[in-house]
């Protein structure tokens, strides 16, 4: 009887101990729940911290005072790559929602679902009109056939009655599809937060295109203006030597001037920079009439002096007086018909239209090749030692230069230079400058430039930025005659090959970089490693990995069961 009483007491003790342990666990969970409701945190266990938002992104989301509604047009049947993009967009929006709270919601939409062919086409046109760029995807069905599907890899961000289109896909034909998709995923946070910030910002920055020096007319930069107008208010006008006339603009664009700048205009530009103004320079150093090649087989290229050399040299760059020839180049139409017959134009490679490679900088990273026309090499110089220089564009490994003055003839197509003559590889054609610039008018008599001088003249700038491209045609879109008036064509589109180059994205990124007071452009520098499977290794070791993945989990469960059983036996044997 005594032994039974002891055994019974030990059972009660064991039950009480289990109940107390259970209550302790419940209490601990309750405390953790209360603390977590007051202490917000998220843990990102990925190597690249791909789910960690930047501090600026978090700040913008937390400061929203009205609801942001995001419509993402990535739903329905899609190739695996776009499914991966869909997941990445959802992950980013979930992170956005965590910091924006009730001020952000989103929805995934299949633009093809529940519509007739006519309704679907009309809806596609509406999305395209709003700024979403479609892509035509070829995919193989179960029966081995190939079908085509239109996908809109983008979103419409709505805020306070306004909306803006956000495109996710960076499509560089020179890269594999998997790499393009990975680059696109890297930029999702920047693309979305830039759209949200644009709509929610209290002020809209003003930028201006200068006139009065033979710059490109409005119709030839219209496509770039339309794209920039989504983010900025845009003006056009002359400088006219008026001090302070540019001070109200966050940035100005000087697009392919062909006439010299007066010293008064240069002083106004210089002091605009000294006060923190930003300039996007798109300059030619050699003047050449490309249109004359349509009517004649040759034309002359002569040096172009814009009277800006001293100014640019002071800021840290120098343009060479020569033209680049590059074996990686665009096309030009050439009439191949026999004399007397109807013209027959065919596209042929034209060495003077280099396809320039964007470099790893937030402005140019992951962009398609940029098409140029009669491009000049650009060098960086020491300057005042307070300027950082970042290369944005380079030519290919197979490039060379020809000094001006020179004759350019279509006969060169028949007799191209030998490959060994292309001995100036990777020439610089675009550079970003950042820091404190020194005035080119330092130690000069200002009253000789502008009557009465320049009030508040500054010899050194506050920290600011500028970008220089040694080709004015980077921003120039094509035009065509429709109904008696000139109509602009998409910037960067090659009418001969239907290839769209990265010119428009480069210009938009450049201006956003210049005006970026919150350094959001740094998000474009994020890099996610692409971990692709080795197809050859998979094929050779398929049986091994199938057995490994099938048997190992079962074996681990059996071992775990044996260990638990042994521990239980030991535990209860000790208690007896």
Structure tokens belonging to residue 541: 């070791």
Sign of the torsion angle spanned by Cα atoms 51, 52, 53, 54 = negative
* Strand 278-282 with 251-255, pairing: parallel
One digit per residue, the tens of pLDDT, for the chain of length 576 reads 444 555 556 666 767 777 877 788 788 877 777 666 555 555 655 555 556 788 888 899 999 989 999 999 998 888 888 898 999 999 999 999 989 888 999 999 998 887 888 888 899 999 998 989 888 877 665 555 666 778 899 999 999 889 999 999 887 776 777 788 888 888 899 899 989 998 988 888 999 999 999 999 999 999 999 999 989 999 999 999 999 999 999 999 999 999 999 999 999 999 999 999 999 999 999 999 887 887 778 899 999 999 999 999 999 999 999 999 999 999 998 877 777 777 788 889 999 999 999 998 999 988 999 999 999 999 999 877 789 999 999 999 999 999 999 999 998 998 899 999 999 999 999 999 999 999 999 989 998 899 888 889 999 999 999 999 999 999 999 998 888 888 899 999 888 888 889 999 999 999 999 998 777 777 776 655 555 555 667 667 778 778 888 888 888 888 888 888 887 777 666 655
438 token code pair: 């020194």
pTM: 0.80
Which residue is listed with tokens 């809806």? 123
Residue 421 in contact with residue 371, Cβ under 8 Å? no
- Domain borders along the chain are 1-39, 55-198, 203-501, 537-575
CA distance to 307, 405, 446, per residue, from 311 (Å): 8, 23, 15
Asked if omega into 405 is within 30° of 0 (cis), the reply is yes
Digit-coded pLDDT (tens) for 13-52? 767 777 877 788 788 877 777 666 555 555 655 555 556 7
Q: How far apart, in whole angstroms, are the C-alpha atoms of residue 111 and residue 127?
A: 9
Q: Which of 91, 7, 77, 83 is nearest to 49 (CA)?
A: 91
Which tens digits make up the pLDDT trace of 148-186? 778 899 999 999 889 999 999 887 776 777 788 888 888
The span from the CA of 134 to the CA of 130, in Å, is 12
Architecture of domain 203-501: 3-Layer(aba) Sandwich (3.40)
Q: Apex CA 60: angle with CA 54 and CA 61, to 5°?
A: 90
Q: Which helix (H) or strand (E) holds 554?
A: helix 542-575
Angle, vertex CA 319, rays to CA 454 and CA 303, nearest 5: 100
Instruction: Name the class of domain 55-198.
Output: alpha beta
The encoded tokens of residue 350 equal 């034209």
Burial 309-322 (b: 16+ CB within 10 A, else e): eebbbbbbbbbbbb
Alpha helices in 278-428 (DSSP H): 292-295, 309-315
User: Which of these, 87, 441, 525, lies nearest to 264 by C-alpha position?
Assistant: 441
Phi, psi (rounded to 5 degrees) for 203: -125, 150
- Give all strands (DSSP E) within 12-67, no chain letters: none
508 and 167 in contact (C-beta within 8 Å)? no
8 A C-beta contact, residue 334 and residue 348:
yes
Task: Give the pLDDT of residue 203.
Answer: 83
Closest to 257 in 3D by CA, of 277, 223, 282, 220: 282
For 297-307, the pLDDT digits (tens) are 889 999 999 99
For residues 367 and 360, give the distance between their C-alpha atoms in angstroms, rounded to a whole number: 10
């Amino acid at each position: 009887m005594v032994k039974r009483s002891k055994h019974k007491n030990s059972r009660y003790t064991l039950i009480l101990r289990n109940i107390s342990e259970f209550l302790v666990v419940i209490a601990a969970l309750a405390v953790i729940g209360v603390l977590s409701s007051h202490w917000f945190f998220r843990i990102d266990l990925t190597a690249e911290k791909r789910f960690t938002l930047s501090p600026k992104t978090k700040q913008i989301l937390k400061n929203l005072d009205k609801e942001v509604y995001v419509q993402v047009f990535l739903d329905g049947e899609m190739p695996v790559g776009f499914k991966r993009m869909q997941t990445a967009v959802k992950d980013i929006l979930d992170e956005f929602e965590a910091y924006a709270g009730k001020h952000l919601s989103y929805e995934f939409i299949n633009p093809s679902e529940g519509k007739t062919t006519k309704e679907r086409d009309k809806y596609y046109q509406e999305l395209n009109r709003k700024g979403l760029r479609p892509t035509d995807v070829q995919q193989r069905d179960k029966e081995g056939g190939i079908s085509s599907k239109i996908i809109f890899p983008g979103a419409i961000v709505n805020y306070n009655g306004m909306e803006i289109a956000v495109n996710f896909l960076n499509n560089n034909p020179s890269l594999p599809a998997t790499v393009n998709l990975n680059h696109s995923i890297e930029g999702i946070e920047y693309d979305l937060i830039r759209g949200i910030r644009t709509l929610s910002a209290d002020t809209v920055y003003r930028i201006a295109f200068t006139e009065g020096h033979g710059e490109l007319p409005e119709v030839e930069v219209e496509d770039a203006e339309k794209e920039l107008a989504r983010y900025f208010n845009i003006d056009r006008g002359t400088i006219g030597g008026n001090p302070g006339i540019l001070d109200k603009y966050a940035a100005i664009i000087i697009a392919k001037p062909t006439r010299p700048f007066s010293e008064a205009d240069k002083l106004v530009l210089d002091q605009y920079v000294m006060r923190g103004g930003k300039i996007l320079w798109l300059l030619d150093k050699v003047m050449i009439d490309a249109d004359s090649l349509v009517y004649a087989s040759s034309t002359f290229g002569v040096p172009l002096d814009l009277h800006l050399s001293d100014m640019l040299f002071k800021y840290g760059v120098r343009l060479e007086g020569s033209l680049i020839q590059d074996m990686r180049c665009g096309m030009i139409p050439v009439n191949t018909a026999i004399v007397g017959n109807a013209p027959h134009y065919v596209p042929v490679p034209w060495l003077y239209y280099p396809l320039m490679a964007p470099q790893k900088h937030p402005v140019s990273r992951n962009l398609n090749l940029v098409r140029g026309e009669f491009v000049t090499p650009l060098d960086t110089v020491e300057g005042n030692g307070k300027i950082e220089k970042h290369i944005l564009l380079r030519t290919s490994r197979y490039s060379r230069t020809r000094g001006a003055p020179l004759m350019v003839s279509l006969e060169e197509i028949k007799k191209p230079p030998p490959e060994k003559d292309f001995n100036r590889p990777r020439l610089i054609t675009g550079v970003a400058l950042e820091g404190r610039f020194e005035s080119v008018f330092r130690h000069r008599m200002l009253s000789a430039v502008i009557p009465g001088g320049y009030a508040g003249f500054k010899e050194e700038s506050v920290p600011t930025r500028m970008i220089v491209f040694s080709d004015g045609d980077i921003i120039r879109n094509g035009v065509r005659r429709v109904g008696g008036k000139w109509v602009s064509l998409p910037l960067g589109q090659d009418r001969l090959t239907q290839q769209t180059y990265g010119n428009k994205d480069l210009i938009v990124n450049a201006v956003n970089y210049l005006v970026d007071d919150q350094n959001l452009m740094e998000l474009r520098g994020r890099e996610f490693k692409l971990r692709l499977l080795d197809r050859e290794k998979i094929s050779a070791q398929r049986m091994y990995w199938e057995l490994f993945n099938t048997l190992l989990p079962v074996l681990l469960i059996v071992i775990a069961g044996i260990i638990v059983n042994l521990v239980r036996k030991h535990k209860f044997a000790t208690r007896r």
